[in-house]
Structure 1
Amino acid sequence: MTLDTVREDKAIENLTHRLNDTFADIRTPEDIETAVAAARRQFEGDRVRDYVPILVERMARQELTPQPEPAAAGGPPTPTVTAEPASWRQRIPIALPAAVAGVLVLATVATVLVVRNGSDVQAQTGLITVSGVIGSEKRAFFEDPDVKAALAKHGFEVKVDTAGSREIATSVDLSKYDFAFPSSTVAAERILQPTPGRPAVSGKKYAVFSSPMAIATYQPIVDLLSATGIARKVDGTWYFDVRKYVDLAKAGWRWTNIRGNTTYPVNKKILVTTTDPRTSNSAAMFLAIVSYVANHNNVVQSAADEKKVLPLVAPLFVNQGYTDSSSEGPFDDYLSLGMGKSPMVNIYEAQFVDAAVHHKLKPGMVLMYPSPTVQSKHTLVSLNANGEKLGELLSTDTDLQELAARHGFRTADESQFANVVSQGRFPVSTDVIDVADTPTYDTLERLLEGVSKSYR
């Protein structure tokens, strides 16, 4: 199995999950898998695969969305849904009320089971079960046995699902959770705003910890970039000149354009691998960085600023082809697949430190800080009283804050993170000074919408 096939298979699996979430009320999982498989078959034999998952998802969504049939004798149109595109199988009308009724019955049974099981857990353990949806970069923290024990001391058992932070903010059904924990204040603000099909959420915000954005790369790549002036080392820490990067990307530079490049002679564009900015906060934070630089080191504030920077920054995302929906995917690939796939990966600093603490880094793996970077404040939004209690606990309890530092997060007590870095002798800066401000919530939303349109 080739590397491209592994990546594409993972992308198809992720998009199938998204389609199941979107069409759960009107389509069975089998129908959705059939539609995805049928769309994917249209690209059999194509050598260029980067855009296949994007096109498959677009085609499957179009074909799974109900389409009005012509009205009979002046009656209302009949909604229909197809499991395969019309060119493969004739559209089949579906009795939507019956399907919805079945879903409601199943949902009611599921709710009863959840309540019953939750009561059983509390009766058996004396712990209150608190459920939440979190950014994937915090999964290791909540799965840590020491974290579980520290939470249990305060009477909590926390169960989490993961999703991209912007998915959490816009499309995840939050009604079944006690808290949401995206990766930035901007995403938390988005949760508190009404969205199509979802009313505004009433809750409190807790800035539990933070992490600056960084770039995971490899020593041979750093050596190459230092020859171009993009990378430079200061007091043992590597920095990535975003201004020079944007200029080279605008000029269409490829790795083969670097003179004397014998370590990575690959005819790919010089791009930092990000997640999908439409679903993931880490990509949105990288957008905040590059838009700041493209706006001559000024925060984008006006419509004129947006119009000026979008043509410069949108290609940095669109030209990557398929991108993962959350930060866990590309960093896992970085740890396991080597620099052939993605020589530079946009990550949270915490992911690199966590991997270093738990001995997952390999020789030659290097952390660079974008210059400038941005601080991403991981912000918990409470959705009920139990969520509030957890937010308060994570924000104030010394043991939990120390454990967060062990997982690479910066806390209110700066000495906690500094101790972790010092003890491990990690090549990480305890003082990140060159930090840009992020745009306002509304401005960043418009920038993200502009980038999204570029994908279409």
Structure 2
Amino acid sequence: MKLDTVREQKAIENLTSRLTATFADIHTPEDIETAIRSARDSFAGDPVRDYVPILVERIVREELTPKPDTQAEPDERLAKWTRPAVALEAGADQAAVTPSGFGAFGRRFPIALPAAVAGVLVLATVATVLVVRNGNNAQASPSLITLTGVIGSEKRAYFEDPDVKAALAKHGFEVKVDTAGSREIATSVDLSKYDFAFPSSSTAAERILKPRSGRPAVNGMEYSVFSSPMAIATFQPIVDLLSATGIARKVDGAWYFDVRKYVDLAKANWRWTNIRGNTTYPVNKRILITTTDPRTSNSAAMFLSIVTYVANHNTVVQSEADEKKVLPLVAPLFVNQGYTDNSSEGPFDDYLSLGMGKSPMVNIYEAQFVEAAVEHRLKPGMVLMYPSPTVQSKHTLVSLNGGGEKLGELLSTDPELQELAARHGFRTTDETQFANIVGQRNLPVAKDVLDVADTPTYDTLERLLDAVSKSYR
């Protein structure tokens, strides 16, 4: 069997960089490199290499982390990485798995691990090697390495999809996720218990990696897995009203929403009853797009990027003067909504179940609408519009350890997982995948989203979000 030494070496180099940064205060780079080399050498000759960097990382972290009690139980999280890959074949020689009978499969552990941990690691490797050598004679299927992550709620259905679970299992992984608003993930969620974070934009990913007061730096890698432009979920009667005012227009089968005119109407405090001839939605409410809470959610931050760009005369906000100019115009677009949800799942669920009475226009990811269409959850009269301009939200995975790195690489490159992402409404690097999904279902979705604004820099967007947050007080 030919070993993929290039990929393994790259993973080890990344691991060395991470651990050097993590343990710089208590160990020299030389000591860290020696520990990594010793742990890796303990797997020399094994034909199964996919998980060697992951196991090496767990071994070395266990060795380098100070422990007040040397007899303490091994870290529970370590156990999931060192779980035997398979049950041994029925009737196998038990000497092969006893401490005194390692034989040709045995190895010494040059790092001083607790005995229980070393034993589990040996059993894991022995079981893996036995499966490789016994081929199809093994009676049990492989156990899966469990990875945990915190994600934006709009990706929950993707990770809960049985087909996605099966595709991940083919590569030896089971993925369990918690959900939170992307800005919460980047600012307040405790990431130490996770293997990866998966917010809904590259800006949020950048914030995760950036050190700040009260939170250590994350020395991870970024993976742009898929993307989705921001869109507006609405209803045909609303579209007809907006079309009569010139705010909405239809081009090549897709509806577009003029953000410039929207900002002007909002500035003038227009209400739905101000629209002449409005008999389909005669409600005395402000004309506002329902968003999530910009203090916690990425989708609201993306909408803020759109409206500040427009309010700044179609120019990305760059200076303090720009910020002061646009904030009085855009802050009311959020504050005047009243209560808003922390993540994009809430308002879209309301859109699907409650109709236009509560929220006639909802800021969403295009992927949410397409996914609902694929799953036959849309009702007659539900319409998708694109803000003009809009922004592309790049769903970016941040690895927090070696397992997160392998998952990030897998999700962003594996054809089957990318095709499944398209089925959930996301645009992937292969444009034909998304085109096939919308074409098969004849969805009124823009083939190419051309009117796309750039988002502000990380620091500028943070200042804008903080200023809007203060407006709530």
Matches within 5 A, 1:293-312: 293-312=310-329
Matched, 1:339 2:390: no
Alignment partners' CA distance in 1, 2:244 and 2:304: 25
Using the size of structure 1 for normalisation, the TM-score is 0.74
Alignment partners' CA distance in 1, 2:470 and 2:213: 18
Question: For residue 424 of structure 1, what is the amino acid of its counterpart?
Answer: R
Secondary structure of 1:216 counterpart: strand
Pick from 249, 261, 265 the counterpart of residue 282 of structure 2: 265
Name the CA shift for 1:345/1:143 in 2 (closer, same or farther; >3 Å): same
Matched, 1:447 2:460: no
Matched, 1:144 2:161: yes
Question: For residue 321 of structure 1, what is the amino acid of its counterpart?
Answer: G
Q: Deviations over 1:315-371 (max 9, x none)?
A: 000000000000000001101110000000000000000000010000000000000
Name the CA shift for 1:121/1:190 in 2 (closer, same or farther; >3 Å): farther
Shift of 1:114: 5.5
Question: For residue 129 of structure 1, what is the amino acid of its counterpart?
Answer: T
Given that 1:170 and 1:195 are in contact with CA atoms closer than 8 Å, whether structure 2 keeps it comes out as no
Alignment partners' CA distance in 2, 1:341 and 1:120: 50
Pick from 351, 365, 369 the counterpart of residue 382 of structure 2: 365
Shift of 1:126: 1.7
Secondary structure of 1:180 counterpart: strand
Matches within 5 A, 1:40-439: 125-439=142-456
Given that 1:276 and 1:283 are in contact with CA atoms closer than 8 Å, whether structure 2 keeps it comes out as yes
Shift of 1:236: 1.0
Secondary structure of 2:296 counterpart: coil
Alignment partners' CA distance in 2, 1:122 and 1:409: 33
Question: For residue 229 of structure 1, what is the amino acid of its counterpart?
Answer: G
Question: For residue 427 of structure 2, what is the amino acid of its counterpart?
Answer: R
Name the CA shift for 1:195/1:236 in 2 (closer, same or farther; >3 Å): same
Given that 2:80 and 2:146 are in contact with CA atoms closer than 8 Å, whether structure 1 keeps it comes out as no
Q: Deviations over 1:75-122 (max 9, x none)?
A: xxxxxxxxxxxxxxxxxxxxxxxxxxxxxxxxx99x966655776696
Given that 1:121 and 1:129 are in contact with CA atoms closer than 8 Å, whether structure 2 keeps it comes out as no
Residues matched between the structures, number: 348
Let me know the Cα RMSD of the aligned residues. Answer: 1.6
Name the CA shift for 1:154/1:117 in 2 (closer, same or farther; >3 Å): closer
Name the CA shift for 1:329/1:123 in 2 (closer, same or farther; >3 Å): farther
Alignment partners' CA distance in 1, 2:457 and 2:437: 33
Secondary structure of 2:463 counterpart: helix
Question: For residue 261 of structure 2, what is the amino acid of its counterpart?
Answer: K
Secondary structure of 1:417 counterpart: helix
> Unaligned regions of 5+ residues in structure 2, if any?
1-71, 88-141
Using the size of structure 2 for normalisation, the TM-score is 0.72
Given that 1:122 and 1:129 are in contact with CA atoms closer than 8 Å, whether structure 2 keeps it comes out as no
Given that 1:417 and 1:430 are in contact with CA atoms closer than 8 Å, whether structure 2 keeps it comes out as no
Given that 1:205 and 1:382 are in contact with CA atoms closer than 8 Å, whether structure 2 keeps it comes out as yes
Alignment partners' CA distance in 2, 1:176 and 1:356: 35
Q: Deviations over 1:409-449 (max 9, x none)?
A: 00001111011110110010111000001111111011101
Alignment partners' CA distance in 1, 2:211 and 2:178: 22
Percent of aligned positions that are identical: 83
Question: For residue 405 of structure 1, what is the amino acid of its counterpart?
Answer: A
Alignment partners' CA distance in 1, 2:335 and 2:464: 14
In structure 2, the residue matched to 1:5 is none
Shift of 1:200: 1.2
Question: For residue 310 of structure 1, what is the amino acid of its counterpart?
Answer: L
In structure 2, the residue matched to 1:76 is none
